Amino acid sequence: MKSLAAPAASVHETAEPPAGREDGEEGSSRSGSLPEYVYARLREDIFDMRLLPGDQITETEIAAYFKVSRTPVRQALQRLQGDGLMQGYVRGGWEVVPMDFKRFSDLYEMRKLIETHVVRRLCTRDPAHPLDLSCIEGLRRVWCVPGSARELDGPKASLLDEQFHQTLVRAAGNQEMADAFDRLTDRIRIVRRLDFLYGDCLHSTYEEHAAILDCIAAGDADEAVRRMGEHIDGSHAEVNQITLHRLHSARATSTTKPPPYVAVRVRRQF
């Protein structure tokens, strides 16, 4: 199962850019990890809205800032493009993908279709196609707990939330669906995690997850589908509101400065 690593400290929290060698002179001991290193830092800047939709960057400026060659930078940017977070244009230029709320709405619709199907499948006791539901007990140990035992750290709770939904999808036994759901999860992460960082969803998430698990344990398919659908719809509505607020605040606040490698900060309306 894929999981989201706990957010690393941003490179901008240090006084100097990360240590490295001149262009083309990376040591062999680090060369294998450089694309991952640059990818993780740029991705975190996007998730934390230091890089905003429409910001333009170049491979040359990023390479100079991180003190690496353009090759790992290009690999990192191509990976971000695959995540739907960056788009390339001419001569090594790249842009943070503008926020497309219609696209996120489509992704949430797909998520709801998959996950409501999954909980109905998990509630169905079909002797001809038995499922291994041992993972449900593991989820109960995480989510069916008193308030004092809940994870209140936003990034950690966001990771647990992703694992909850991915575990349920994988438990349904359809590998192609699970792989598609993993890709979908990657694409909505940029807005989904905002609910845990800036929203007020922690305790409600525990309660809603516990209720869904209770329905699965009882084999109540209709109630499980209803609760999962409401859970996803509520999350979608909340992240839309938070995302718009965060974007407007980031654009309007003079103290929100772009990272040093941003060539052009484009002011867009949302």
Q: What is the pLDDT of residues 9-21, one digit of tens each?
A: 333 333 344 444 3
pLDDT above 70: residue 264 = no
Which secondary structure element, helix H or strand E, spans residue 87, and what is its range? strand 86-88
- Tell me which residue has tokens 């007990």: 137
Provide mean pLDDT across the span 203-220. Answer: 96
> Which tens digits make up the pLDDT trace of 80-134?
998 888 998 877 799 988 778 888 899 999 999 999 999 999 999 778 888 889 9
Nearest Cα to 119, choosing from 47, 226, 6? 226
pLDDT above 80: residue 72 = yes
Please give the full DSSP string across 174-243, using - where no structure is assigned. -HHHHHHHHHHHHHHHHHHTHHHHHSS-HHHHHHHHHHHHHHHHHT-HHHHHHHHHHHHHHHHHHHHHHH
Q: What pLDDT score does 11 carry?
A: 38
Distances (CA, A) of 24 to 126, 134, 136: 59, 50, 49
pTM of the entire predicted model: 0.72
pLDDT above 50: residue 254 = no
- Tell me which residue has tokens 């989510």: 143
Which of 18-27, 154-163, 197-206 shows the highest mean pLDDT?
Answer: 154-163
Q: What pLDDT score does 44 carry?
A: 86
Mean residue pLDDT across the chain = 82
Q: What pLDDT score does 251 carry?
A: 57
pLDDT above 60: residue 195 = yes
Task: Return the minimum-mean-pLDDT range out of 105-119, 159-173, 178-192.
Answer: 178-192
Q: What pLDDT score does 1 carry?
A: 39
Which of 1-5, 133-137, 196-200 shows the highest mean pLDDT?
Answer: 133-137
Provide mean pLDDT across the span 208-237. Answer: 96
Q: How many CA atoms lie within 13 A of 34 on its CB side?
A: 26
pLDDT band for 154, please (50, 70, 90 cuts): confident
Whole-number Å distance between alpha carbons of 220 and 119:
9
Which secondary structure element, helix H or strand E, spans residue 263, and what is its range? strand 262-264
pLDDT above 90: residue 151 = yes
What is the token pair recorded at 117? 């199907």
pLDDT band for 270, please (50, 70, 90 cuts): very low
* Higher-scoring residue by pLDDT: 41, 89: 41
Q: What pLDDT score does 263 carry?
A: 67
| 3-state secondary structure at position 95 | strand
Q: What pLDDT score does 186 carry?
A: 85
Nearest Cα to 264, choosing from 92, 89, 58, 47? 58
